Amino acid sequence: MGEDQNTVAVVGGTGDQGFGLALRWAKAGRHVLIGSRVRSRAEDAAARVKSAVGVSAQVEGMENVEAVAHAPLVILSVPYEAQIATLKTLREVWRPGQILVDLTVPLETSVGGSPSRLLGVWAGSAAEQAAQHVPDSVAVVGAFHNVSAHSLQEIEHSVECDVIVCSDNADARGKLRPWVEAIPGCQYVDGGKLENARIVESLTALLIGMNRRYKVPGAGIRVTGLQP
């Protein structure tokens, strides 16, 4: 199995949002490695992607460590309470030049609270916290926080949500653009430095509250007035 820039590892790819991203990228012809703590669960998720997208889909299921070892781009899609523990299991497999995209949102649900409220994070944001647990040679990006799992999994429809991408590494921000634009309806928005991820993460809690009030499954955001 060769590594190329068309390959992405989705750590936590058996969860709703990670699975949705795997579906979208497999449908777009990308090589997707679905990671899980349990290989059989990852293999089951890969089989479900192929069932939805087609048997020719380039998707494989494997343990998280193996997936990260074979991909230049790594998506971390786990609940906030599992973020640090998951990153610790990956400590020995990171390589210089890899990009970690953190989707984590510090929702109060991690301590039994409301899904429309945020916890305070000493690092400033979940993305900044992730950066403290990977080598300096790995660029950390915060993105895809506001894209609903429901919308991602409805693969016959466009997602209709902007994706605000934050990182201290401008090159890493740019490299994520084609991955955002591979999802129909998603628009890439350069969100600047990683510290801005704290604002983007908070929008997720706001959107969850809107979903409840408007009784919809996948509210999203659009940033107006930008030149394409």
Which DSSP string do the residues of 20-88 spell out, in sequence order?
HHHHHHHHTT-EEEEEESSHHHHHHHHHHHHHHH-TT--EEEEEHHHHHHT-SEEEE---GGGHHHHHH
What is the structure's pLDDT at 93? 97
Query: What average pLDDT does the chain have?
Result: 95
Q: Does residue 22 register a pLDDT over 70? A: yes
Q: 126-130: which pairs have CB atoms within 8 A and are 24 or more residues apart?
A: 126/80, 126/83, 126/102, 126/197, 126/201, 127/102, 127/166, 127/194, 127/197, 127/198, 127/201, 128/194, 128/195, 128/197, 128/198, 129/83, 129/84, 129/104, 130/76, 130/83, 130/87, 130/100, 130/102, 130/104
Q: Does residue 228 register a pLDDT over 80? A: no
Taking the alpha carbons at both ends of the chain, their separation in whole angstroms is 36
- The model's pLDDT over 168-204, given as tens digits with 9 standing for 90+, comes to 999 999 999 999 999 999 999 999 999 999 999 999 9
Tokens of 7: 């390959």
Q: What angle do CA 142, 123, 109 make, to 5 degrees?
A: 75
Between CA 95 and CA 201 the distance in angstroms is 27
Angle between helices 39-53 and 16-27 (to 10 degrees): 50
Q: Looking at residues 102-107, what average pLDDT do you find?
A: 94
What is the structure's pLDDT at 2? 44
Q: Looking at residues 115-137, what average pLDDT do you find?
A: 93
Are 158 and 219 contacting, i.e. CB atoms less than 8 angstroms apart?
A: no
CA distances from 155 to 9, 27, 159, 167 (A): 20, 8, 8, 28
- Which range, of 108-112, 191-195, 199-203, 213-217, averages the lowest pLDDT? 108-112
Report pTM.
Answer: 0.95
- The model's pLDDT over 36-51, given as tens digits with 9 standing for 90+, comes to 999 999 999 999 999 9
Q: Does residue 167 register a pLDDT over 80? A: yes
Q: Does residue 5 register a pLDDT over 70? A: yes
Count the neighbouring beta carbons within 10 Å of the beta carbon of residue 135: 11
Q: Looking at residues 129-136, what average pLDDT do you find?
A: 98
Q: Does residue 1 register a pLDDT over 80? A: no
Burial of 47-84, coded b for 16+ CB within 10 Å and e otherwise, reads ebbeebbeeebbbbbbbbbbbbbbbbbbbbbbebeebe
Residue 3 — very low, low, confident or very high, per pLDDT cuts 50/70/90?
low
- 7-214 CATH pick, 3.40.640.10, 3.40.50.2000, 3.90.1150.10, 3.40.50.720: 3.40.50.720
Tokens of 83: 């973020």
Which one is predicted more confidently, 114 or 83?
Answer: 83
